[in-house]
């Protein structure tokens, strides 16, 4: 697998926020979100044999591995990585942009999928693989990054037009006032969760945290 970085931290986003995890960040992404905070994963990277990555991850003290990127589903060995480690009892949170087929990764009990539905401010709002919506399980969740009123309206429309079985998280694009988003959710009586990127609140905008 082509790797950008690996580090120990707590999960900073989504329903598992606060849970200690070992992060494996793969290199390369097929999307180019305008506000992407991880553009350093677009180039470079170090090729690491999947077998040695599996061995390394099987030995970490954390119950959870966070497989992120870049776009981790682009990696040919991602399935082997997930099937081997879940087979050994590790749990894996997979962060994906939503444009690639998630089905192979929903077959394992030990996985949770965090799937973005890209909003207009990303410039990638047409990238969603729609079939993925039916494949999400109850424990998975959808994340929409909200930067402005257009994104919020997009989220409203999306939730009106799609039957979503799992939790929906609205995450302010970093720098967007969270109180604005919370007020919009309340005004619209939206049953979603608003969550911030806690690792950036704790450490600031840094790599490897």
Ligand X SMILES: Nc1nc2[nH]cc(C(=O)O)c2c(=O)[nH]1
* Phi and psi torsions of 139, nearest 5°: -80, -15
Closest distance of CB 75 from ligand SAM, Å? 12
CB 116 within 8 A of CB 96: yes
CA dist., res. 204 & res. 157, Å (int) = 33
Instruction: Please select the residue that binds ligand X; options are 1, 4, 13, 159, rule is CB under 6 A.
Output: 13
Tell me which of 13, 62, 71, 140 binds ligand SF4, using CB under 6 A. 71
Question: Does 8 interact with ligand SF4 (rule: CB under 6 A)?
Answer: no
Say how many Å lie between the first and final Cα of the chain, rounded. Answer: 21
Q: Are 75 and 2 in contact (CB under 8 A)?
A: yes
How far CA 102 is from CA of 78, 94, 148, in Å, comes to: 11, 10, 28
The residue written with tokens 């040919």 in the block is 76
The Cα–Cα gap between 172 and 195 comes to 8
Whether residue 70 is annotated as binding a ligand: the answer is: yes
Tell me if 189 is assigned to a ligand binding site.
Answer: no
Kindly state the smallest distance separating residue 122's Cβ from ligand SAM, in Å.
7
Q: Which does 9 bind (CB under 5 to 8 A by kind): ligand X, ligand SF4, ligand SAM, none?
A: ligand X
Residue numbers 17-76 binding ligand SAM by CB under 6 A: 29, 35-38, 68-69, 71
Single residue of 150, 174, 182, 208 touching ligand SAM by CB under 6 A: 174
Tokens 């005004």 correspond to 187
Question: Considering only 9-17, 44-52, 166-174, 183-191, which stretch makes contact with ligand X by CB under 6 A?
Answer: 9-17
| 3-class secondary-structure state, position 25 | strand
* Region near ligand X per CB under 6 A, out of 10-18, 43-51, 121-129, 141-149: 10-18
User: Any contact of residue 34 with ligand SF4 (CB under 6 A)?
Assistant: no
Alpha-carbon distance of 62 to 5, in angstroms, equals: 17
To the question of whether residue 140 is assigned a binding role by annotation, the answer is no
- Which of 145, 155, 181, 185 is the binder for ligand SAM (CB under 6 A)? 145
Shortest Cβ 171–ligand SAM spacing (Å): 5
Contact indicator for 60, 40 with CB cutoff of 8 Å? no
Q: Is the CB of 30 or the CB of 58 nearer to ligand SF4?
A: 30
Q: Where is 110: in which H helix or E strand?
A: none
Q: Which does 12 bind (CB under 5 to 8 A by kind): ligand SF4, ligand SAM, ligand X, none?
A: ligand X
């Amino acid at each position: 697998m082509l790797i950008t970085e690996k580090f120990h931290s707590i999960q900073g986003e989504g329903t598992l926020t606060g849970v200690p995890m070992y992060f494996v960040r793969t290199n390369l992404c097929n999307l180019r979100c305008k506000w992407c905070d991880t553009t350093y994963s677009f180039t470079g990277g170090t090729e690491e044999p999947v077998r040695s990555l599996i061995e390394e991850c099987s030995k970490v003290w954390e119950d959870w591995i966070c497989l992120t990127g870049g776009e981790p589903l682009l990696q040919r060995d991602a399935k082997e990585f997930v099937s081997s480690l879940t087979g050994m009892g590790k749990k894996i949170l997979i962060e994906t942009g939503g444009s690639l087929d998630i089905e192979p990764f929903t077959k394992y009990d030990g996985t949770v999928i965090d799937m973005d539905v890209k909003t207009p401010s990303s410039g990638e709002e047409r990238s969603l693989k729609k079939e993925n919506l039916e494949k999400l399980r109850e424990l998975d969740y959808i994340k929409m990054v909200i930067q402005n009123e257009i994104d919020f309206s997009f989220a409203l429309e999306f939730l009106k037009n799609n039957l979503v079985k799992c939790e929906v998280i609205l995450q302010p694009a970093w720098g967007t006032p969270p109180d604005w988003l919370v007020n919009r959710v309340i005004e619209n009586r939206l049953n979603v969760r608003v969550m911030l990127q806690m690792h950036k609140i704790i450490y600031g905008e840094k790599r490897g945290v």
